[in-house]
Chains A and B, each alone.
Chain A
Amino acid sequence: VADEHRPGVLTHLQAARRIAAPLLAWPLSDEAEPAPVFCP
């Protein structure tokens, strides 16, 4: 990552971590399946 891009990238990563926090804390069973991207 170019030096001049780092501050903006860092800001977005911090925002992603903040927004993701409740999702990452949500309890899911080990058997939970990801949503299919499409149904064959």
Chain B
Amino acid sequence: MTITGHDDAATIAAAVRRGEVSALAVTEASLRRIAALNPPLNAFTAVTASRALERAARVDAVVAQGLDPGPLAGVPFGVKNLFDVVGLATLAGSKINRAHPAATEDAFLIRRLEAAGAVLVGAQNMGEYAYDFTGMNAHDGPSRNPHDPARMAGGSSGGSATAVASGMVPLSLGSDTNGSIRVPASLCGLFGLKPTYGRLSRGGTFPFVASLDHLGPLARSVTDLALAYDAMIGPDANDPAQTRAVAAPVLGQIGDGIDGLRIMRAGGYFSTQQMPEATHALDLVAHSLSAGTGLILDGVTEARAAAYLITMTEAAALHLNRLRERAGDFDPDVRDRLIAGAMVPAAWVTKAQKFRAVFAAQMRQVFQSVDVILAPATPCSAPLIGQRDFVLDGVTMPLRPSMGIFTQPISFIGLPVVAVPVWPQGHGMPVAVQVITAAGREDLALRVARYLEQAGVAKAPVAQGMTV
């Protein structure tokens, strides 16, 4: 059997587990694709080839012994470079962190995936300190969108999305504070899972805004999201925000369909400030799911504002000493936002945290009568690299912070979301829809995503011309 860059993680793992292909062959092929495609696309900042080949050989040895190599046997994956990887400095997209000592232990989620048989092949490009929605990086250059390399990959997990959409790897891990998994999933046409806040451990990763930071997978199939999620759940004493509620595996439920689910399309805030392709994508998804309309959520504008303020101030506090000592080594766009964050009045932030509790309580009430809420993931498909503004509802807005206007209010209160990629007819580029559920109900969001995938409404193909 031959594995190509088009195969998803589930297909690869099944073939390796049956002994039809070796993990070593799969890993070598992935490394060849990275060698060929990374120079033009800029997805990886470090490739861990020796480690990967050694790990793959160990997976093959387990298979040869007739033992279980794990549900992700031989699956190559990459991680955003804010994850600790043994032997690498944890860059978090920055110039400053390059002087840090190399990590001596892998991040918790890397250890979980490798325990399930997966093979880490490298660390991926990202926006500086994750303060980005574009995929731009002043030090490493932009991650490019495989579907049109003149366009943005989205951020801040831009390299992670580029790597999957180009077929370099079938699976990447990213982080999502305000939308940094969902925005690149939208722009690169991928499935992305932002789990409930506190669900997956952030142990061994460089923070951005601790009270908002989430980690999760990007993939080309819903089954791959579920496989990765199931492999990564589990307690870790190194993440004090991790919920004590035990997470159940979801893979067995994703094929259960949508019968009985109360699905609503969000209106109001979520029906404004978007370009036609985003509206069209939501139309297609809502129609396929026979979603109800007329759900107006109160306080979404305020929720976005509160997330914006908490992000500015918490991130400024994190980087204050670096701003004082090495301001010139920051990306200027990031530096100026962080300095501004250090000057925001404390009363504003306190109000934002109080509103967070109010908004979370309101959404818990909404989920008494609704199971799933649909909303756009981004206001538009991928903008051109270098574009700094766009016009929404007749108002010129700065692109960098505004790509997250639909994702920020949701992560603000930690709800799980699956971004599902849609290809509006005649548009040529993908754009995603958010499938949002109550806290702890990743299973429902993945069920809906799987239904849309099987119906052909959502799909995440490898970009054309990426075959190596």
Binding site for B on A (CB under 8 A): 1-2, 5, 8-13, 15-16, 19-24, 26, 28, 32-35, 37-39
Contact = CB atoms under 8 A, between A and B. Distances in A.
A19 B353 CA distance: 16
A33 B353 CA distance: 8
Given A23-B306, A24-B348, A16 B340 contact: yes
Given A34-B350, A34-B357, A23 B302 contact: yes
Contact of B355 (A9, A11, A23): A23
B377 interface: no
A39 B356 CA distance: 15
Given A15-B398, A35-B357, A23 B336 contact: no
B308 A34 contact: no
A24 B313 CA distance: 16
Given A9-B340, A26-B302, 19 more contacts: A1-B339, A2-B327, A8-B332, A8-B336, A9-B336, A12-B339, A15-B401, A16-B308, A22-B302, A22-B305, A23-B306, A23-B348, A24-B348, A26-B351, A28-B358, A34-B350, A34-B356, A37-B211, A38-B240
B210 A22 contact: no
Contacts of A21: 305
B354 to A, nearest CB: 4
Interface string B325-341: 00100001101110111
Given A16-B308, A26-B302, A11 B353 contact: no
B392 interface: no
25 contacts: A1-B339, A8-B332, A8-B333, A15-B401, A16-B340, A19-B308, A19-B309, A20-B305, A21-B305, A22-B301, A22-B302, A23-B305, A23-B351, A24-B351, A26-B299, A28-B354, A32-B358, A34-B350, A34-B354, A35-B353, A35-B356, A37-B210, A37-B211, A38-B198, A39-B244
A20 B240 CA distance: 29
Which of the four size classes fits the interface of chain B? 35 or more
Contact of B357 (A8, A20, A33, A38): A33
B243 A16 contact: no
A31 to B, nearest CB: 10
Most buried by B among A10, A12, A13, A34: A12
B99 to A, nearest CB: 22
Contacts of A23: 302, 305-306, 309, 348, 351-352, 355
A26 B352 CA distance: 10
B237 interface: no
Contact of B353 (A5, A9, A26, A34): A34
A28 B357 CA distance: 11
Contacts of A13: 340, 343-344
